[in-house]
Chain A
Amino acid sequence: MLVWLILIGLLVFLVLNPILRLIVSSLQQADTGRFTLENYRAAYGNIRHLQALLNSLELGVGVALLASCFAVPLAWAISRTDMPGKPFIRLMVFAAFVTPPYLGAIGWILLAGPNSGWLNKAWLALTGADHGIFNIYSMAGLILVVAVTSFPYTFVFTSSALDLVSSEMEDAANILGSRTLRTTLRVTLPLVTPAIIGGIIISFLEAIALFGAPALIALPARFNVVSTQLWQFFEYPVRIEEAAAYSIPLLAITVLMFWLQRRILGRRGYASVSGKGGERRMIALGPWRWVMFGYALLVCALSVFLPMIVLLQAAFAKAWGRGFSLDNLTLHNFYYLLVEQTQAKQTILNTFVYAGVTAVAAVSLSLAIAYVVSRKLVPWSNVLGFLCIAPFVIPGIVLAIGFYAAYASPPLALYGTATILILGFTTRFLPIAYTSSAAGLRSINPEMEEAVRILGGSRFLAIRRVLIPLLKKSLAGAWILVFIPATRELSSAIFLVGPNTRVISVMLFDLSEEGNFEVLAALGVILLIATIVIAAIGSKLIGRDFMLRRNT
């Protein structure tokens, strides 16, 4: 019972209270604390605020559709056909997956900024026109940028579902007289519709909750989306109650979409496609395989090659606009970040320390809860599990506002401390940690522990000597799965950092406001290299492809 009290106490503190405070303060008068609907009137009584809401929806729908146009053909080509170069394409999708959206956005600013962007310069050089044709500072530009960084969600969902569909399903249509194209459209893709819808919903939610890319692109383009509008409520004077009221739709939409996803998929049993005779053969596409390959390369170019090349160029350039010449080459940007500028060093250190501590906290807490839940040690243990998963449906930006409302001011007065950041991150990534610890625990037969108990060992001994050693790998995996997104987290960090607790993502954001793209790119490269190294160690530790598990 004591354990239960402690665990539920922690979860209330981390999950329940911030959300309750968010809802409560949206209904409170700022100074008196009396009940009021004034905040909602202020939040929605403004035409610009409503426009931002519509813009978010437009962004979400646009991204979801464009991302599926990228992801579904790619997933199909990779898991069902003989397209060449599959491992390479997979690797590129993975690279797109680990690139933080705001870095992608910066790459695209360098590529398609009006006039000075590389693509525009190329266009000017080719045609002699007097102004460029691409303008990333637009809704279309924003949709493209977000879609190229979030299509891997739809890809992963779709391709893992396609991997489960046995070729006999296709053969059965084939022999009844249906050709490859019709079979794909009538049988194969419908079979994985739930996965595609899942991917669409996730990329939609990802797009509307995103802060970094919209802030970099929408603000210069002079339009707002919900997340940037929320950000503006935090400019002095901070209007936390209005922000809370304004963030409620984001929360509601997210919860609604998850509910919808479950509803749509309700009755048809899709996963029942394995068993004997469940082998898979690749469809021979003939010359079309090169067409598919070309399309895959195009998607990779948009999402990885192009932005990465210009980011790398900028990271090693004195001035990125001067191009690829040798005398423009320098290591000074890295030197500046890692040696010269003490604040930058501190920021880099902060990032990895916070992420590390967050990962330890999230994994320990979720392991304890997963254990209690799976062994049914206390009544109502399912409630604990549910609370652990709940942050999954809370957009990072909304969670941060909840934390701000709950803990920034006295009595706890955590504003600007490392503690509030770590607590916020821990809550944000608790679902990832919980899902993978629970999966790890499920794979261990309780009889392993019972064998210790029957020999006279205590439960604690059984956990320490048997369970933890057996779980080492999955715990390491869970740690990495939390650590990596925690190093890149921007949308909740931006509301919770103080002057001394800045992290890389926030610093990148500030640098971009200063227009210092060279140093910014160098910082981005440092972040990516750290991510890749850790991901590589991780995949050595716990088997391939672990990053491709869902981790929103």
Chain B
Amino acid sequence: MSRLTLTGISKRYADFAAVDNIDLELQSGEFVSLLGPSGCGKTTTLRMIAGFVDPTSGTIEVDGELLSSPKGSIPPDRRQMSMIFQSYAVWPNMTVEQNVAFGLELRKLGKSEIKRRVGEMLEIVHMSHLADRYPSELSGGQQQRVSLARAIVIRPSILLLDEPLSNLDAALREEMRFEIRRLHDEFHITTVYVTHDQAEAMVTSDRIAVMNHGRIEQIDDPRTLYDRPKTRFVAGFIGRTNFIEGDNDGHRISFDGFALPCAAFDGILSSQRKTVFSVRPHSMWLSETQPTTPGICPPVEVLVLERAFLGEHWDYVVKPRAGATTLRVATSPVNDIAVGASAWLQLEPHQMALIG
């Protein structure tokens, strides 16, 4: 268990910045995901932490000890870390047991000690009964468990995972997410987890760093990230959302076709005139009749343009009677309003995130 600090880390290939000035600090035992679209520099960052790639600038430290800097780096084999690869990289020439024992052998533990720890570890990942199998005789999920066991059994200071679930089918992926979190709760190893699947990041992580074009756009716990995205990119990348632009005159914010009082926003507003909010489809309410109990904000009369029934909820596309901006709203499955009908939309300022 160690504290990991990345300071001003960049990696350039020719004049292209794959990773661009990243600062990141993981507390001891923390689980942080790097989440972002393909090519945003997640793998490069992870491989710099592992020591396979040297940064062009910046430093990487573990517990205050300098591991990487442009001047030179400690090689991967001396970092006491573990890594789980996209392809699992389980060695097909060794049995499950031999795979897991490899790292312990390198640490020159006694034979009986190795046997004991490998046995315990296989127990934990539910693979004891397959200890003598070769990897080619295992399913994808089982191979993944072997690679988890192999990485964790040495009690690494840092555990690195690069899209470990992307080669599995959907059901297994869901199961393994919880498995990874369970193992983390058991061992509390400081972990960096790379993925481009937001659900995966939200299930597993203490905090998520959303990356774009080689930079970290925002780093927060999953709840904050979802409720209070700080940039348009983050809001759009995590879950579905509506972007609405408004004009702030100090008393009211005028949107296209409706307006909300500034007082309702509890001082999150800045002094700038132009404002952009992200509003989640689930954080608005739609009703067929005009609500009798007035909320903080007056309801907006809207026209229903499209709708789709998705089982767990209705998906509506509406637009204010007095405007042209379309909004997506999700409502409970019993809330059945016909296309072309009028309805009232209730916005909740607490659930609107200011992103610019």
A and B assemble together:
yes
By beta carbon, the residue of chain B nearest A183 is: B77
Assess whether B106 is interfacial by the CB under 8 Å rule.
yes
How many Å from the CB of B149 to the closest CB on chain A? 12
Contact check, A273 vs B92: say whether CB atoms are below 8 A apart.
yes
Q: Give the chain A neighbours of B87 by CB distance below 8 A.
A: 166, 168, 273, 275-278
| Interface set, chain B 142-201, CB cutoff 8 A to A | 147, 150, 154, 160, 162-163, 166-167
| Interface set, chain B 82-140, CB cutoff 8 A to A | 82-83, 85-87, 89-94, 102-103, 106-107, 134-137
**In the complex where A177-B78, A275-B167, A276-B166 touch, is A171 in contact with B89 (Cβ < 8 A)?**
yes
| Interface set, chain A 179-217, CB cutoff 8 A to B | 179, 182, 186-187, 190-191, 193
Contact check, B82 vs A268: say whether CB atoms are below 8 A apart.
no
How many Å from the CB of B66 to the closest CB on chain A? 18
Contact check, B85 vs A177: say whether CB atoms are below 8 A apart.
no
Contact check, A168 vs B89: say whether CB atoms are below 8 A apart.
yes
Assess whether A176 is interfacial by the CB under 8 Å rule.
yes
Interface string of B42-82 (1 = CB under 8 A from A): 00000000111000000000000000000000011111111
**In the complex where A191-B91, A273-B92, A276-B166 touch, is A177 in contact with B134 (Cβ < 8 A)?**
no
How many Å from the CB of B95 to the closest CB on chain A? 9
How many Å from the CB of A194 to the closest CB on chain B? 9
Assess whether A263 is interfacial by the CB under 8 Å rule.
no
Contact check, A277 vs B85: say whether CB atoms are below 8 A apart.
yes
Tell me the bound Cα distance from A243 to B109 in angstroms. Answer: 60
How many Å from the CB of B192 to the closest CB on chain A? 13
How many Å from the CB of A285 to the closest CB on chain B? 14
Q: Give the chain A neighbours of B135 by CB distance below 8 A.
A: 269, 272
Q: Give the chain B neighbours of A179 by CB distance below 8 A.
A: 75, 77
Contact check, B77 vs A177: say whether CB atoms are below 8 A apart.
yes
Tell me the bound Cα distance from A267 to B138 in angstroms. Answer: 12
A interface bracket (residues with beta carbon within 8 Å of B): 20 to 34
Tell me the bound Cα distance from A482 to B77 in angstroms. Answer: 49
Q: Give the chain A neighbours of B85 by CB distance below 8 A.
A: 168, 171-172, 277
Q: Give the chain A neighbours of B167 by CB distance below 8 A.
A: 275-277
Contact of A272 among B86, B136, B166 (CB under 8 A): B136
Q: Give the chain B neighbours of A551 by CB distance below 8 A.
A: none
How many Å from the CB of B89 to the closest CB on chain A? 4
Contact check, B93 vs A190: say whether CB atoms are below 8 A apart.
yes
Tell me the bound Cα distance from A190 to B94 in angstroms. Answer: 9
**In the complex where A176-B106, A269-B137 touch, is A171 in contact with B76 (Cβ < 8 A)?**
yes
Assess whether A175 is interfacial by the CB under 8 Å rule.
yes
How many Å from the CB of A183 to the closest CB on chain B? 8
Contact check, A172 vs B83: say whether CB atoms are below 8 A apart.
yes
| Interface set, chain A 246-289, CB cutoff 8 A to B | 267-270, 272-273, 275-278
Contact check, A173 vs B86: say whether CB atoms are below 8 A apart.
no
Assess whether A178 is interfacial by the CB under 8 Å rule.
yes
- Which residues of A does B touch, CB under 8 Å? 166, 168-169, 171-179, 182, 186-187, 190-191, 193, 267-270, 272-273, 275-278
| A-B CB proximity, top 8 nearest | A269-B136, A277-B86, A176-B103, A277-B87, A168-B89, A172-B89, A168-B85, A190-B93
A-B contacts besides A173-B91, A272-B135, A277-B86, 17 pairs, CB < 8 Å: A166-B87, A168-B86, A171-B83, A171-B85, A172-B83, A172-B147, A174-B75, A175-B81, A176-B102, A190-B94, A191-B91, A267-B134, A269-B92, A270-B93, A272-B92, A275-B87, A275-B167
